[in-house]
Chains A and B, each alone.
Chain A
Amino acid sequence: SAVISQKPSRDICQRGTSLTIQCQVDSQVTMMFWYRQQPGQSLTLIATANQGSEATYESGFVIDKFPISRPNLTFSTLTVSNMSPEDSSIYLCSVRTGGIATNEKLFFGSGTQLSVL
């Protein structure tokens, strides 16, 4: 299993500013994922962050807007840059653990509730 600490749990930000969300895992994991969940909606994958390589972004998400760091196997950050009210959402980090496919599971942080004024 994996325990994920995600900070901050919520924030209210001004338009045009940036917020960095941190995700700390209690064990070393290769694959980490960042999701966005808009109110009442499902999770949308923003990017996959593997340690030692550039993050891979999904269609509709770009590095300039959502830069990601992955300095080691237990930590990652997602920055929401130059925020607008449309960025108001819940942001979640997730890890994939288990090694072999039989044992793989996903674990999620508790999320960051972002409101942009």
Chain B
Amino acid sequence: DAKTTQPNSMESNEEEPVHLPCNHSTISGTDYIHWYRQLPSQGPEYVIHGLTSNVNNRMASLAIAEDRKSSTLILHRATLRDAAVYYCILLGGATNKLIFGTGTLLAVQP
């Protein structure tokens, strides 16, 4: 099963951009890169996903490396409400099993 690796934790200051990296060196050509976040005492929620091109939505941006072996979730201006665990997973195509890695615990300082 394709796996992802992320740093265990990161810190940011409020109102500053945050770049959360993810490595997925065994990604297959048909796997989409998905990002979810889990706020305290809640189930994970969808953030963004992409295949090859960079993607933007109201929550975040997703930058995908040209070889697709890594990606970066970008929060343009972190707020205290963005403090959560962020998970990068591979979905679709050859990956039917949805395996979560350790995720990155993002702390946002006021």
Contacts and interface: CB of A to CB of B under 8 A. Distances in A.
Nearest to B89: A106
B101 A101 contact: no
A110 interface: yes
A94 B38 CA distance: 13
A111 B103 contact: no
A107 B100 CA distance: 14
B30 A45 contact: no
A104 B46 contact: no
Interface residues of A, number: 23
Contacts of B99: 45
Contacts of B91: 96, 101, 104, 106
A4 B100 CA distance: 20
Contact of B98 (A94, A102, A109, A110): A94
B87 A104 contact: no
Question: Chain B interface residue count: which class?
Answer: 20 to 34
B46 A106 contact: yes
Of the listed residues A4, A43, A58, the one surrounded by the most CB atoms of chain B closer than 10 A to its CB is: A43
Given A42-B103, A94-B98, A101-B30, A109 B43 contact: yes
Interface of B: 30, 32, 34, 36, 41-46, 49, 51, 85, 87, 91-93, 96-103
Of the listed residues A48, A101, A106, A109, the one surrounded by the most CB atoms of chain B closer than 10 A to its CB is: A106
A30 to B, nearest CB: 12
A38 to B, nearest CB: 12
Nearest to A41: B102
Interface in A1-56: 4, 6, 33, 35, 42-45, 48
Given A42-B103, A101-B92, A104-B91, A110 B44 contact: no
